[in-house]
Amino acid sequence: MTNFLEKNKDYLDKAVDYFHSIEEQEKWFNVKPKSRYYSFKYCFQYFNKKNPVIVELGTSRSFVDGRFEGCNSDDVKYWDKNDPEKWDWSAGFFTKVFSNLFPNTEIHTVDLMKNHIDRCKIMTNDKKNIIYHVASSEDFLNTFDKKIDQRVNEKTDESVKEKEDESVKEKADENIQEKTNVNANNKKYIKNQLFEIMKKFIDDIDSLPIHARHQAVTHSDLSAFANVVYSILQAFDDT
């Protein structure tokens, strides 16, 4: 039996292409980025046969995708449960997807805007495993007392972003000495390699017959090469 994600794979795969051409995406990223389908599938496979507690910060809030009339409107006339092509796939439609993939698990969807939550309730009214919260992400996370197995940030409050930035900075500070040691070792290795290259270059020239040396390299060439290597080594010493 095909699950909800596989059934709608094509919509997810093409969602961004309506707004940005494949050529544009390849120009920006060198390759066409994979769609949300793949990250959704990874999460599904990871938590499959389990009942994870899922928290979504920023709910599914549009009845239709951005390319259709009625995007982000409160008017329920724009919601058609029987026309998935118009659903808001470019935003991922996480609430709809995962409430279908995990019908027996606990999904908390959080949003500051009550009208966003009201829209989500309409689009997912066939599911009984979703708990809706009108709250800031920070307030919700500060009061939520269960272990979160999967957290999804559809949009993040600035206060939460600041806390996450602080957490990242703390982790960076904890690892700074280790990174410094790694960088020092890398510099030492590169310096040694440069010395070896320069030595081999000079040895190769010296091994040539005297009459052939000037044909292979001039004195100015050798000086220029030595100056480049010396400059690189000096730059390493200054960092």
DSSP string, 125-161: TT-SSEEEEES-HHHHHHH--SPPSEEEESS--HHHH
Phi/psi for 70 (5° steps) reads 100, 5
Q: Quickly state the pLDDT bin for 124 (edges 50, 70, 90).
A: very high
Q: Are residues 173 and 68 in the same domain?
A: no
Note the pLDDT of residue 156: 46
d(CA 154, CA 93): 10
Residue position matching structure tokens 């982790």 = 171
Structure token pair of residue 73: 């409107």
* Mean pLDDT, residues 17-22 taken together: 93
Q: Are residues 14 and 129 in the same domain?
A: yes
Note the pLDDT of residue 26: 93
Give pLDDT tens digits for 42-81.
999 998 878 899 999 999 999 999 999 999 999 999 999 9
What percentage of residues in the chain have a pLDDT greater than 70? 63
d(CA 79, CA 158): 30
Q: Quickly state the pLDDT bin for 133 (edges 50, 70, 90).
A: very high
**Does any domain span residue 177?**
yes
Tell me the torsion sign for CA atoms 50, 51, 55, 60. Answer: positive
Q: Are residues 144 and 48 in the same domain?
A: yes
Across the chain, what does the average pLDDT equal?
Answer: 80
Q: Does 233 score more than 90 pLDDT? A: no
Q: What burial letters (b/e) apply to 19-33, b meaning 16+ CB within 10 Å?
A: eeeeeebeeeeeebe
Tell me the torsion sign for CA atoms 171, 51, 128, 85. Answer: positive
CATH number at residue 42: 3.40.50
Q: Are residues 91 and 32 in the same domain?
A: yes
Q: Does 85 score more than 90 pLDDT? A: yes
Give pLDDT tens digits for 145-200.
888 877 766 654 444 555 555 655 565 565 555 555 556 666 666 667 666 776 66
Residue position matching structure tokens 């200054």 = 238
**Does any domain span residue 174?**
yes
**Does any domain span residue 162?**
no
Q: Are residues 60 and 109 in the same domain?
A: yes
Indicate the number of domains in the chain: 2
Q: Are residues 181 and 143 in the same domain?
A: no
Domain limit, last residue, from 106, 129, 156: 156
Domain limit, last residue, from 137, 156, 175: 156
Q: Does 119 score more than 60 pLDDT? A: yes
Mapped to the 3 state alphabet, what secondary structure does 155-210 carry? CCCHHHHHHHHHHHHHHHHHHHHHHHHHHHHHHHHHHHHHHHHHHHHHHHHHCCCH
Q: Are residues 74 and 149 in the same domain?
A: yes
Note the pLDDT of residue 149: 78
Note the pLDDT of residue 1: 47
Q: Are residues 117 and 217 in the same domain?
A: no
**Does any domain span residue 101?**
yes
Q: Are residues 54 and 113 in the same domain?
A: yes
CA–CA distance from 100 to each of 61, 103, 177, 222 (Å)? 17, 5, 46, 70
**Does any domain span residue 50?**
yes
According to DSSP, the residues that pair with 132 across neighbouring strands are 109
Q: Higher-confidence residue: 169 or 140?
A: 140
Please give the residue range of the domain that contains residue 185. 167-238
* Mean pLDDT, residues 132-136 taken together: 95
54, 152 Cβ separation under 8 angstroms: yes
**Does any domain span residue 138?**
yes
Q: Are residues 122 and 184 in the same domain?
A: no
**Does any domain span residue 118?**
yes
**Does any domain span residue 10?**
yes
Domain limit, last residue, from 112, 131, 156: 156
Q: Are residues 152 and 171 in the same domain?
A: no
Q: How far apart are the first and last CA of the chain?
A: 59
Q: Are residues 124 and 185 in the same domain?
A: no
Helices (H), 30-157: 36-47, 94-101, 114-123, 137-143
Sheet (strand 150-153) strand order: 130-134, 106-111, 53-57, 150-153
